Structure 1
Amino acid sequence: MTKTPDLRRAGPILHLRDHDAEGLRLAAVVIRPEGESCGTLRAGDIDHAARCIASLEGLAVWRFDFRLGAQDRGYGFEGAQYAVETDLTGDLRFAFLSCNGEEIGDMGRDPAERDAMWEAMRAQDEIRPFAALLQGGDQIYADEVTTGHPLSEGWPEDLPNSTTEADLAGLSAHLRAGFVERYMRGLASPAFGHLASRVPTLAVWDDHDICDGWGSLPVEATNSAVGRTLFSVAREMYLLFQHGAVEADVPEIFVDPTGAQLGWQRRLPGVTLMAPDLRSERGRRRVMGEAGWQLLEDPSPEPGRRLILSSVPLLGPRLSLVEAVMWLWPGMQKYEDDLRDQWQSRAHREDWKRALRAVLKLRAQGPVTVLSGEIHLATRAEMAATPGPVHQLVASGIAHRAPPKGYARGLGWLAWLGEGPLSGHGIRILPPPGMRRRYVAERNFLVLERRADDWSAVWHLEESGPTPPLAI
């Protein structure tokens, strides 16, 4: 069994803040045991000092804020040099991933098995560096953090009759410790550390970053004192570990300065990256509130290509059929929140059509590609549009083990039935290049590449290897 990573230290971890005529604006996070010093970071002939943005669970979280011009090519920290892809005007590559963990027992897995696809991604970066690391949701699996505390042990089914402020403070401390342990497990991985110190990351969260099915669970559970405490701690940890940020940074990093939703947008030469937040405002009968819709429906006008991160697939099979008949089979009801999580749920039909109309409007302005995760499979889809299709690429399961092949075949059957809620804009679920089936049950990640003005995508599959390039 491979040695477990040191969960007391991580970094530097780069976060992409902005890009303009002066180059990249970055944040670099370093995590050390409290009381241990943090050196300086040298970039562009300037020495930068870190400031401590958080202390928790015996750890200090340090952050450097700095710039790299196109000519700088990297930075130095504590005697080591880290190359960074800084000239983004020509050819470039992005990596996209999701589902970095599992619901049960993830902390006890053999690191060599768990992080095998991270190692494959690191090898790809060494062949040709990535310009950004796009993380599409479920960067941790926090499902087990509620165990071990009397207030949350039975949540969401069992709710305490009453709670005091002292009770909730104790619950917050318990949850925070669980989140920190899981985040540090991922950040301390050698393969992730190699990538994150050289490739700026951008992340959108999904349900497991909070708990399984957050927003699709019964309202009395999510709106309870335990539910709101869980969401508050999960949000604090998401800001800190996935964005290197605290509450005061929200107006600078996210589109909504109030923080009601945590969608973001970044503009790079010739491409805009955007990610609506599908969790902060989610309810059993809505995917987003108006703050979230504004990013999708009224983004800043930018020329060039758009890459939209949707933490659950925007183009999908007819899951509403499963919802309609699930009550006929005993035991199927436990999957209700999983189905309601999807855009294709009967409960979200109008929201789904609204989102598709917004994407079609963006497609009329330039090429649009949707990147999604969530389903632990690799697949792709197209929606008919003018002047050309909207592509969706799903890469899911960087660490989560693949589901049974029968699960993939069942989704393929649903996809064969077709789905197209907007007249004249049919949706087709298609196999990744070189694959026979629409859904591939292998762990995977995605590489997007721009050469000249041509874009392509390659899935890297654990067993089958890289697919042929798909022109997008």
Structure 2
Amino acid sequence: MIGPVLIFRHLDDTHLHLAAVVTADGPDAPGPFVVDGHEIAATLLTRIDATGIWRFDFAVPRGQNAAYRFAGEDHPIATDVDGDLRIGFVSCNGEEHGDLDRDGDERNAMWMRMDETHRAAPFHLLIHGGDQVYADEITHTHPLTADWPEAVPDRVSEAELDDLRAHLRRGFLHRYVETYSGAGFSRMCAQVPSLMMWDDHDICDGWGSLDEDKLGSPVGQLLFECAREAFLLFQHGATDADVPALFLDESGASLSFRRDLPGVTILAPDLRSERTKARIMGPAGWAAFDAARQDVADRVILVSSVPLLGPRLSIIERIMNALPTMQKYEDDLRDQWQSHAHRAEWQRMLRAVLAMEAAGSSVTAVSGEIHLATRATLDGGRGPVHQLVASGISHRAPPKAWAWTLGTFARLGEAPLAGHPIRIRPLPGQGTNYTAERNFLMIDRRDETWQARWSLEESGVTPSLAI
């Protein structure tokens, strides 16, 4: 069973509005789900075979000790969001190969540490920055997708696609159930409202950076359709009917969203739904983002699933593309804002960040994806724009040699906008630009000042960084 997994909806003057996602086998609704002595009715979102995916919509008073009771267990929720505020950030909750076969204590070690941290000082919000599940292997066990993406069938019948759809829906359900029931995750997400934005592994490795004939094939489109349904269900407690109310683009072509808390705007552009080898966001995504970045709060947390500020990866990209043995990594580099193919779009996003800064907001970008921890700054008009990268809540860290290699390229510097150089910097207390340890991020507002700390698997909690 999944859940309850709390999803942040919105705040009004008196209440924090939430959704809770739960799965249950059989025809009956799960429960009871009780808030302030009142039982909340469950809404059936869909069924996948015999499993129902259900949602409870409820509200708790803000600024007070709040809780709900589900299936006989009490879950407190921190709702005092007007003063000091605590936000967690995680990404990369899995691995490409054999993720569900790993030892649970090893796989979920950082989740259990985060849960201990939460019990000592509760989080108000948990942002998941991409790769909430690693779904790559669900394509391996069906004839139509056994060799995806290297081999894609040219012609498939409707009956074959229907069979593949059922297989993929079961595969996504299994991935989410196994991942979400992990120790630490299940307790954290039952008590801390989440906001989630997907990245490629929530669909398949490199989605959007693969060749157009693969993305646009009937098999590719069906894979995206099933991944999108699962993203809505398990990461937002939603179906297509909920899209206009929850996302910035009412058509659903882009699943970018904005949520507001007192003094802070969470802005999460969707970097996958409209992605191709030639672009990161499409017309719907850009229109939604440009509208949403107006009239933001004094503090903006920009969720960029791939790092917005990075080294000159275009150099590595050209080297790899020239070497036949390395060309298989092309989609990994094309995924990045720093790819030579996306430079103009990267500049557009950086100008948007600087425009928010010029209008009086302090922007902090948070990112994952690279399985390392690092930070960066962009020289702005009122001071540095900070980027905080926390990547690998359960994905094991790459070799330290790779971190050193990236750090070497980072020393070359990068300035896609004249007069606004980007600098990659070590975490507080670390001696290298990239830290090869599993990690999660804590962002705190205390007495109206903001600071960040990383929890590192081996090194412990870093000193605070003023942001």
TM-score, L = length of structure 2? 0.97
Determine the C-alpha separation between the residues in 1 that align with 2:443 and 2:384.
17
Q: Give SS of 1:421's match.
A: coil
* Contact persistence 2:248–2:289 (CA under 8 A): no
* Contact persistence 1:296–1:358 (CA under 8 A): no
* Contact persistence 1:44–1:69 (CA under 8 A): no
Q: CA RMSD in A?
A: 1.2
Q: Which residue of 2 aligns with 1:309?
A: 303
Q: 2:435 aligns with which of 414, 425, 440?
A: 440
Q: Which residue of 2 aligns with 1:458?
A: 453
What are the ranges of 5 or more consecutive residues in structure 2 without an aligned counterpart? none
Q: 2:153 aligns with which of 143, 155, 160?
A: 160
* Contact persistence 2:269–2:285 (CA under 8 A): yes
Q: Deviations over 1:79-108 (max 9, x none)?
A: 322110112001111110000000010011
Q: Which residue of 2 aligns with 1:143?
A: 136
Q: Deviation of residue 42 (structure 1)?
A: 2.4
Q: Deviation of residue 217 (structure 1)?
A: 0.4
* Contact persistence 1:44–1:72 (CA under 8 A): no
Determine the C-alpha separation between the residues in 2 that align with 1:255 and 1:44.
32
Q: Deviation of residue 323 (structure 1)?
A: 1.4
Matched, 1:97 2:90: yes
Q: Deviations over 1:132-184 (max 9, x none)?
A: 11000001111111112111112222121311111111111111111111111
Read off the aligned partner of 2:84 and give its amino acid letter.
D
Q: 1:23 aligns with which of 15, 25, 43?
A: 15
Q: Deviation of residue 347 (structure 1)?
A: 0.4
Q: Deviation of residue 51 (structure 1)?
A: 1.8
Q: Deviation of residue 291 (structure 1)?
A: 1.6
* Contact persistence 2:65–2:76 (CA under 8 A): no
Q: Deviations over 1:418-440 (max 9, x none)?
A: 00110111100000000000000
Q: Deviations over 1:374-408 (max 9, x none)?
A: 00000000000021111000000001000011110
What are the ranges of 5 or more consecutive residues in structure 1 without an aligned counterpart? 1-8
Determine the C-alpha separation between the residues in 1 that align with 2:449 and 2:283.
35
Q: 1:49 aligns with which of 41, 56, 61?
A: 41
Matched, 1:256 2:249: yes
Q: Superposed, which structure 2 residues align to 1:101-116 within 5 Å?
A: 101-116=94-109
* Contact persistence 2:104–2:183 (CA under 8 A): no
Q: Deviation of residue 445 (structure 1)?
A: 0.5
Q: 2:53 aligns with which of 51, 58, 61?
A: 61
Matched, 1:336 2:330: yes
Q: Deviation of residue 53 (structure 1)?
A: 1.3
* Contact persistence 1:312–1:342 (CA under 8 A): yes
Read off the aligned partner of 1:458 and give its amino acid letter.
R
Determine the C-alpha separation between the residues in 1 that align with 2:409 and 2:68.
49
Q: Deviations over 1:45-76 (max 9, x none)?
A: 43211121121132111211111112352222
Q: Superposed, which structure 2 residues align to 1:18-417 within 5 Å?
A: 18-70=10-62, 71=64, 73-299=66-292, 300-364=294-358, 365-417=360-412
Read off the aligned partner of 2:203 and give its amino acid letter.
I
* Contact persistence 1:40–1:50 (CA under 8 A): no
* Contact persistence 2:254–2:270 (CA under 8 A): yes
Q: Give SS of 2:4's match.
A: strand
TM-score, L = length of structure 1? 0.96
Q: Deviations over 1:293-317 (max 9, x none)?
A: 1343232413320001000000000
Determine the C-alpha separation between the residues in 2 that align with 1:328 and 1:311.
28
Q: Which residue of 2 aligns with 1:6?
A: none
Q: Deviation of residue 36 (structure 1)?
A: 4.5
Read off the aligned partner of 2:428 and give its amino acid letter.
P
Read off the aligned partner of 1:23 and give its amino acid letter.
H
Q: Which moved more, 1:77-86 or 1:221-230?
A: 77-86
* Contact persistence 2:65–2:78 (CA under 8 A): no
Determine the C-alpha separation between the residues in 2 that align with 1:186 and 1:382.
33
Q: Give SS of 1:350's match.
A: helix
Read off the aligned partner of 2:341 and give its amino acid letter.
A
Percent identity for Structure 1 against Structure 2: 53
Determine the C-alpha separation between the residues in 2 that align with 1:206 and 1:407.
22
Q: Give SS of 1:417's match.
A: coil
Q: Deviations over 1:327-353 (max 9, x none)?
A: 343411011000000000000010000
Read off the aligned partner of 2:455 and give its amino acid letter.
H
